Amino acid sequence: MLTPEAGDLDLAVRAAWLYYEDGLTQAQVAARLYVSRQTVGRLLETARQQGIVRIEMDANYLAALGLATQLRERTPLTDAVVVPMLSGPMSRERTNERVAAALAAYARRYLHPGVVVGVGWSDTVARALTMLSAESLDGVTLASAAGTIDNVAELVSENPAAVRRLRAVPSPMFVSSAELAESLRTEDAVAQVFDLARSATLTLTGVGAVRPGGSAVRTGMVTDDDVAAYAAAGAVGDMLGHWFGRRGEEISGSASDRSVSLSLAELRALPNVVGVAAGAEKVEAIRGAIAGRYLDVLVTDEPTAQALLGRPTPP
């Protein structure tokens, strides 16, 4: 390699500063330094070769990227996003915030005027919606794939832009009887929203675990006894108010009969369903959702991804 002249090094330092520190494009750097864009490319390469600039990737993100790649290779998922683990203890709320931020970032790739995004409610999905700007939601329609959950609706209300773009189902997610649920699903106001959700090219949904006090129980219309009955019947998870087993098979029960939502079969038929879930208690639910082909994409955190792949979580 030829040793650059002193003048070249000076220019390389200036080009590197403008490009990496000031965030200018190569074309803008070229205009600032009165050189061609090709010269800027050469100067930046000189800066790297001479050690003026060192490009490093965070090992945490590299590990997470490797896990995402393995999830794509070893499961039917078409894509996966794994949020890297940070050092030290982290609360469940902080984990959910980080996973929600990753879901919001993933969703932004697909947001443009005219697109319909289906929404299957969960706390994390709601958090992600609060992170989307009015600009990113411009012309986008958010269509509920299930009835309303009070605490989730409160979260979404923190983002007026999301509320304006949302076509919500005018019904709770669970009602008092199977007959009422069936009647509501055929009401025009409800059916129109579900028709819109069926047309979605992107659907964001949570994956619930079968456990006492879970998200379904927090709706107030499902009891711990209901959940125990589903667990006894072999259920490992729930989505859109419907329960499924470890192979993804639907597990029938009184609570799912009372749900006002799209069915699991309708969810499976949708393109680009993005599921978000993290935590040791969600691992079996995620496996069942993947086995049932209800998810195309998974957004999760590093410990959950390691568990899904059968790896021990580092201390």
- The structure's pTM equals 0.81
Domain shared by 213 and 267, yes or no: yes
Q: Mark whether 263 and 191 lie in a shared domain.
A: yes
- Pair (11, 141) in one structural domain: no
- Identify whether residues 45 and 63 lie together within a single domain: no
User: Do 169 and 22 share a structural domain?
Assistant: no
Query: Are 245 and 166 part of one and the same domain?
Result: yes
Average pLDDT for the chain: 91
Is-contact 159 179, C-beta < 8 A?
A: no
Q: Extract the runs of DSSP E, i.e. beta strands, from the chain.
A: 79-83, 116-120, 141-144, 166-167, 202-206, 208-209, 235-239, 242-245, 250-251, 273-276, 297-301
Residue 30 pLDDT greater than 90, yes or no: yes
314 in any annotated domain? no
Give dist(CA 36, CA 15) in Å, integer.
12
Q: Is residue 91 part of a domain?
A: yes
Number of domains observed in the structure of the chain? 2
Together in a domain, 154 and 225: yes
For residues 126 and 148, give the distance between their C-alpha atoms in angstroms, rounded to a whole number.
Answer: 12
Has residue 216 been placed in a domain?
yes
Residue 264 lies in a domain: yes
315 falls within a domain = no
Residue 89 has pLDDT above 80, yes or no: no
Q: Is residue 313 part of a domain?
A: no
Please give the average per-residue pLDDT across 217-225, as a whole number: 83
Answer yes or no: do 31 and 109 share one domain.
no
Q: Six-digit token pair at 78? A: 């078409």
Determine the 3-state secondary structure of 300 from DSSP.
strand
Query: What DSSP state is assigned to residue 5?
Result: P
**Is 1 inside any structural domain?**
no
Are 43 and 172 contained in the same domain? no
Domain that holds residue 44: 6-49
Q: Is 312 helix (H, G, I), strand (E, B) or coil?
A: coil
* 17-42 mean pLDDT: 93
DSSP codes joined into one string, 67-102:
HHHHHHHHSS-SEEEEEPPPSS---HHHHHHHHHHH
Residues with Cβ within 8 Å of residue 280, at least 6 apart in sequence:
303, 304, 307
Structure confidence at residue 315 as a pLDDT band (50, 70, 90): very low
Q: Indicate whether 127 and 39 sit together in one domain.
A: no
- Segment among 21-25, 56-60, 123-127, 152-156 with least mean pLDDT: 56-60
DSSP H helices in 157-282 = 160-165, 178-186, 188-198, 224-232, 254-257, 264-269
Same domain, 15 and 90: no
**DSSP secondary structure code for residue 296 in this structure:** S
Reported as type and span, the H/E element at residue 302 is helix 302-308
35 and 69 housed in the same domain: no
Average pLDDT over residues 6-15: 82
CATH number of the domain within which 39 lies: 1.10.10.10
Question: Residue range 189-212: average pLDDT?
Answer: 97
CATH number of the domain enclosing 167? 3.40.50.1360
* Residue 192, in any domain of the structure: yes
Provide the percentage of residues in the chain whose pLDDT is more than 90: 76
